[in-house]
Chains A and B, each alone.
Chain A
Amino acid sequence: MNQSSSVYKIRIFLVLGALCLSSSVAVGSELIPVPEFTNHDVPITLPSNPDSPIWEWLNVGLLVIALSLASYLAIVSRSRRGLFALAVASLLWFGFARGGCVCAIGAVQNVTLGMFDSSYAIPWTVIAIFVLPLVYTLFFGRTFCAAVCPLGAIQEVVAVRPVRVPSWLDHSLGLVPYIYLGLAILYAATGTAFIICRYDPFVAMFRMSGNVNMLIFGGSILLLGVFIGRPYCRYLCPYGAILGVLSKGSKWHGRIAPETCIQCHLCENSCPYGAIATPTRPIHKSERVKARGRLAKSLLSVPVLIICGVLVGLLLKTPLSKLDADVRLAERIIQEDAGEVEGMTDASEAFRNTGQPTSALIERAIGQRELFGWLGMALGGWVGLVVGVKFVTLSIRRRRVDYEPDRARCVSCARCYWYCPGEHVRQGLVGDVSQLVSIETTGDPR
């Protein structure tokens, strides 16, 4: 409260003193009593009650339908057009109509909080929204990303001029989602914040209102998405990280050439998301030994990296705990009490108004910081593990004879299917593949 308003306060009290004070009211914490009316009942204000969750049930139903349809379109009917149409529909419904909330990506945090905090009641609809895409991915690959996720869909729509991201950059940025996932789980588990939702670039767009910073952030990601396919999905989305891992073991998965790949490499550059894995060259005996050596080294590096991560994590205790309200407030109160800072913040003022003892707050804050110490180490270890596993996967040479989608990264968008001559044969547009191949290979100097 600033100077002028306290002047007003005095003035108004004086006015009131003259006007409406009867005997008992003293200036200060005393309240003006509710008058005894002769002929009027003092009303009671009722709280507003939420609507029934019927809409949420409907949503889970629609999610199942959309997931099934997306899987069918990606794997059985291989229809890019169908998938695109479904993506637009999902964008309209799950995105714009529903305001994009709660989505499967954010549900990661609800589930985490539900696991760690028994007083948090997670609705079953949110559990379903979290689990269903995972289950579908285990069977059909990331068909959720293809045409159901509204965040994916909005980026899918704008990906018109995709360029190739250099592989070193792609691999390094590809680690970010795992780190983000670790952070999100950490903050959700402690009940500090849902950072995925806080920094969701598109939710402000879906609602066509909201914080300007978030709108700008979302706008830039969309703009970037014109040239770099699905930047959020590839380099940020924590749920995509989980889906990618699960997709590696999916029972079925969309294939570029459903029958035989004739290795015409026509599809090679068709994927806007850099997800097409090329066939491996057969390698020489001597090279094979070297590759084994490399694999052994990278395997050994995993524990080392984890230990380094844990050690670095020790340093994270203080910065990580900064997001915690109690810690921040306690720091402020200590500073104020020590006279290091002038005045009060809103938070410290509100806290002091409640009259709660400072010692309890500080104790809580210390407890929180201790907790973040452990969590920081866990996070460090997690990052070490992620980097280590990346090294290992990079040094594993798996023999691949066909052009295939890399299951972890492919979002089953079906763009590449059309580039495969086999597809044209299947559609009955050309009679014989060999004919196409000969045309192509004669034109190819390789």
Chain B
Amino acid sequence: MDTNSFDSGKQDRRRFMADALRTGGVVAMASAGGFLVGRRSEGEPMVWQLDPDRCTACGNCATHCVLDVSAVKCYNCFDMCGFCDVCTGYFEMNYKSLDTAAENQACPTGAIVRKFVEEKSGQRFYEYTIDEPICIGCAKCVEGCALMNGSLYLQIDHQKCLNCNECAIATACPTEAFYRIPQSQSEILKERAAAVYQARGSQTKRVIERDAEQTGTEIDQVKEAEANELLARAERQRVWRASQQKGSDSQEPSFQ
């Protein structure tokens, strides 16, 4: 490089400036990163989840996930289920007969398992569970069950979900039902489901306490833990709903 002394002076100055800027840049980035790390006080990653109360069972969940078999699966909230004989979630609307033949089932993959539980005063009760690996999240059963109790609902299975930076279904969901929620919350229950879990939790607690008192034995630890877990689940949902209800106003950045 042919540089005279004047040029090299200029170059020195330039190099000095560049070094200063670079150091400044690194410091700025480090502090911005530090600021962000410090800011996420809970230190928790966020995951995608859908709000079943907003879902209208449009079917996009099955087709828009980036996975071949959608990460969205159907769940049954048994505490809301009628265990009906004629389950509108299980049977095709225009079923030919009420048996488990494939053409009578609403679920295209036959992922709902129907199991007889008991017969009481002439009524037969069945339990419907989801065979999760087979479920494709098409919401056919959710749509059917919406005619009855609405106990079937969709949720993202975090074991399958890749947790895309922008969930492809969120983009396609016509009701904007998708949210980023803290990982430990992991689910969004229907408001009604949260209420029944709350009720079941406190009921169980009352029962085990009463039993313990009556029999004079220790409180059943396993049952108590179960009840507490239910109450905690319901509480998490209540807190989340409240934070959503507050509206986006309080979370909105202020640019003014």
Please list the residues of chain A having a beta carbon within 8 angstroms of any beta carbon in chain B.
Answer: 5, 8-9, 12-13, 15-16, 19-20, 22, 31-35, 37-40, 42-45, 47-51, 53, 99, 101-103, 106-107, 109-111, 114-124, 127-128, 130-131, 134-135, 138-139, 189-191, 193-194, 197-198, 203-204, 207, 209-211, 246, 249-251, 260, 325-326, 329, 345-347, 349-351, 353-354, 360, 364, 367-368, 371, 374-375, 378, 401-402
Contact = CB atoms under 8 A, between A and B. Distances in A.
Interface string B212-256: 000000000000001000100100000000010001110111011
Given A121-B42, A350-B55, A38 B159 contact: no
B162 A101 contact: yes
A99 B40 contact: no
Interface of B: 1-2, 18-19, 21-22, 25-26, 29-30, 32-33, 36-37, 39-40, 42-47, 53-56, 58, 64, 66-68, 75-86, 88, 93-94, 117-118, 120-121, 123, 125, 127, 129, 147-149, 155, 157-166, 168, 171-172, 174-177, 180, 182-183, 186-187, 197, 200, 226, 230, 233, 243, 247-249, 251-253, 255-256
Contacts of B233: 47
A50 B47 contact: yes
A43 B183 CA distance: 24
Given A127-B37, A211-B168, A22 B123 contact: yes
A122 B121 CA distance: 56
Contacts of B117: 37, 40
Nearest to B253: A116
Task: Give the 10 A-B CB pairs with smallest separation, nearest first.
Answer: A32-B82, A197-B166, A346-B174, A47-B187, A350-B175, A50-B158, A121-B40, A194-B166, A116-B253, A325-B176
Contacts of A118: 39, 251
Nearest to A9: B147
A43 B78 contact: yes
Contact of A345 (B54, B76, B118, B174): B174
A355 B210 CA distance: 39
A260 B1 CA distance: 7
Contacts of A50: 45, 47, 158-159, 161, 163, 183, 186
Nearest to B176: A325
A260 B2 CA distance: 10
Nearest to A107: B165
Contacts of B37: 124, 127
A375 B171 CA distance: 22
Contacts, number: 234
Given A22-B123, A111-B36, A119-B251, A249 B149 contact: no
A38 B119 CA distance: 10
Q: Which of B39, B42, B182 has the most CB of A within 10 A?
A: B39
B66 A207 contact: yes
B165 A101 contact: yes
B22 to A, nearest CB: 5
Contact of B168 (A121, A124, A210): A210
Secondary structure class of chain B's binding surface, majority of residues: loop
Contacts of B58: 346
Contact of B165 (A15, A138, A197): A197
Contacts of B55: 350
A330 B160 CA distance: 34
Given A34-B82, A349-B56, A51 B174 contact: no
Nearest to A4: B93
B84 A194 contact: no
Nearest to A251: B22
A35 B159 CA distance: 32
20 contacts: A12-B147, A13-B147, A35-B125, A38-B118, A43-B78, A44-B79, A48-B158, A51-B159, A101-B163, A115-B32, A116-B253, A121-B40, A124-B37, A131-B32, A191-B251, A194-B166, A203-B164, A260-B1, A353-B54, A368-B248
A127 to B, nearest CB: 5
Nearest to A130: B33
A45 B26 contact: no
B175 A190 contact: no
Contact of B78 (A13, A20, A34, A367): A34
Contacts of A353: 53-54
B213 to A, nearest CB: 22
Given A50-B159, A106-B165, A347 B175 contact: yes
A190 B118 contact: no
B120 to A, nearest CB: 7
A29 B255 CA distance: 44
Nearest to B172: A211
Contacts of A371: 252, 255
Contacts of B166: 106, 193-194, 197-198
A121 B45 contact: yes
